[in-house]
Structure 1
Amino acid sequence: MLVIDGEVHEFQALPLIFFGRQKPLAYVVNPKAASTASHNFIFYVNHGYRYFDAFRLWDSHVATLRIGGTEFLPDVLDQFLELNPECFSIVRDPLRRFISAFLSKVLTTDDPSYHTFREALTSLCGLDLSPEADPARSCLAFAQWISVQERPQDLDPHFRPQHFNLAIGSRFKVDTILGLEDQDMLHAYFAKWIGEEKAKWFLSLRFNEQTRYKASDCVSDELRSLVRKIYAKDYELFYA
């Protein structure tokens, strides 16, 4: 339990944070909101060139440093504190983010690390993930499953409310929260670190896009309504 000035803070763990060794900039991870681009941006800011594999960067403990949770490697924490970086993150419209996560982690087999999760959903929870599945019906069924989980803060970071990923209301504060939909603000922030032209180029890159399904394949009035309820606090905090 963390107590500051006599106040008990509900959210005790630090969010997942990536940073480099040179530049005072850190990224607070919020999956399915340009997270791969943002993580690669941290590497680019520190080196002046891109990491050789945008997706394997997540697995590296050398290319970037990370802290998160309640336990840290003392030397990494010391480096973070000494660097005293500006921390940024990006949020996304909850409906678009939910559909993107559903398509990449649940409906398709693109990410093998989610095989066990998909197997449980289709074998034990009655979710149709077959090649013949109706994306809209399956997406709604998944949202219904999400809606009955008693501890949304314990959900996979791709599906839990974004304010948990950013540890809103905790001892940790994100210095800058950008909206994915505001491209002008994104460009201005990236340009502050790498200049106008390089920022324009970097933001034109595409990371982790799947093309088999469109977001519109999953949208329904029922889904919109349910997502509004599940992610009500995200809408209040970031999209009021």
Structure 2
Amino acid sequence: MSAKVSLAKRPNFLKAQLLAPFSARYRARLTLRGEPEALLAIATHIVLTRDHRLAFVKNSKAGCTTVAQVLYACDTGATFQGRVHDAKKQIAGHLHVRECLDALRDPKVYAFSFVRDPLARAVSAFQDFVLDRTNPGTRHHLPRLREFGWRPDTSEERQFDVFLDYVAASFAESELWTDPHFRLQKHNLALGTVQYRRICRLENYAAEMTRVLQESGVWRPELERLLTMRTNVSRARKYSPTEAQAARVRAIYAADYEAFDY
């Protein structure tokens, strides 16, 4: 039997219809019925400020935790202590999918996201899931990675090869429903379906985020200190791919290199 990958879950609307009378989460999910699949894949990965001025589409492993902290400060004037993606004072997640998608269609809402060099992003996901094993989703992938030949006592070079095998197999199974931490960024942004005011580059984070805040009209001087903070950063020692591995990443993520001109 061939090795299997762990994919993100597609919405099950039959299940949602059955459970909607008993669950606010499933009632919210049911409102997505009929939406394009590209939007279904990002519906729970949108952060909307409470004044509906900013809508941020998360692109995992491209600074989304850091950006979410800034948006939390825009909403509350404070820094969130803990995992900011669990913050209850922002409009985000499963209960607000309808409101968030509607905001992306509203020309008055400033919709934006960040992208990252695909090689740096792939290495970051590898460190997060395989070397550091700190991401909450690691438990879903490690058993599957073992089926692909991953072992923690082998060289980091060998482990990265296995990780790339796993990513390629995930894409072959379903490009759109691959885990968003290593899914193509063009799918994380629903590129071509969502109309963005700005798609920013993580490599120029402070300048790009300042521009977003200024153009959307929410800039306040006290937000400036947050633009030098980075959260959810992997360990200081970064894995350096071989030339062959870098070439393989360029092949796997060719669509992102083209879409975002990296």
Q: TM-score range by the shorter chain?
A: 0.7 to 0.9
Q: Is the 8 A contact 2:48 2:90 kept in 1?
A: yes
Q: Is the 8 A contact 1:33 1:180 kept in 2?
A: yes
| Residues 112-140 of structure 1: per-residue CA shift (max 9 Å, x gap) | 43213112212x21112x1x332222112
- Find the counterpart in structure 1 of residue 211 from structure 2: 188
Aligned length: 221
> Does 1:221 pair with 2:230?
no
- Find the counterpart in structure 2 of residue 160 from structure 1: 183
1:59 to 72, 78, 86: 86
> Does 1:99 pair with 2:123?
yes
Gaps of 5+ in 1: 1-8
Q: Give the 3 Å change call, closer, same or farther, for CA 67–82 of structure 1 in structure 2.
A: farther
2:137 to 113, 125, 131: 113
- Find the counterpart in structure 2 of residue 86 from structure 1: 110
2:77 to 30, 48, 56: 48
1:134 to 141, 155, 158: 155
- Find the counterpart in structure 1 of residue 25 from structure 2: none
Q: Which has the higher strand share?
A: 1
- Find the counterpart in structure 1 of residue 17 from structure 2: none
Q: CA deviation at 1:99?
A: 0.5
Identity fraction in percent: 26
Q: Give the 3 Å change call, closer, same or farther, for CA 114–82 of structure 1 in structure 2.
A: same
- Find the counterpart in structure 2 of residue 37 from structure 1: 66
| Residues 72-117 of structure 1: per-residue CA shift (max 9 Å, x gap) | 6656767887894211100000000010011012222212432131
- How large is the RMSD of aligned CA atoms in angstroms? 2.9
Q: Is the 8 A contact 1:140 1:222 kept in 2?
A: no
- Distance in 2, matches of 1:220 and 1:178, equals 28
- Distance in 1, matches of 2:224 and 2:77, equals 15
Q: Is the 8 A contact 1:179 1:186 kept in 2?
A: no
| Residues 13-46 of structure 1: per-residue CA shift (max 9 Å, x gap) | 3622111212511110101111001112211112
- Find the counterpart in structure 1 of residue 47 from structure 2: 18
Q: CA deviation at 1:233?
A: 1.2
The DSSP-based 3-state class of the residue aligned with 2:176 is helix
- Find the counterpart in structure 1 of residue 197 from structure 2: 175
Q: Is the 8 A contact 1:180 1:186 kept in 2?
A: no
- TM-score, normalised to structure 1, is 0.80
Q: Is the 8 A contact 1:135 1:218 kept in 2?
A: no
- Distance in 2, matches of 1:113 and 1:20, equals 26
- Find the counterpart in structure 1 of residue 252 from structure 2: 230
Q: Give the 3 Å change call, closer, same or farther, for CA 167–110 of structure 1 in structure 2.
A: same
Whichever residue aligns with residue 140 of structure 1, its letter is D
The DSSP-based 3-state class of the residue aligned with 1:101 is helix
| Residues 27-74 of structure 1: per-residue CA shift (max 9 Å, x gap) | 101011110011122111122222222x2x2124x2211267xx9665
Gaps of 5+ in 2: 1-35
Whichever residue aligns with residue 169 of structure 1, its letter is G
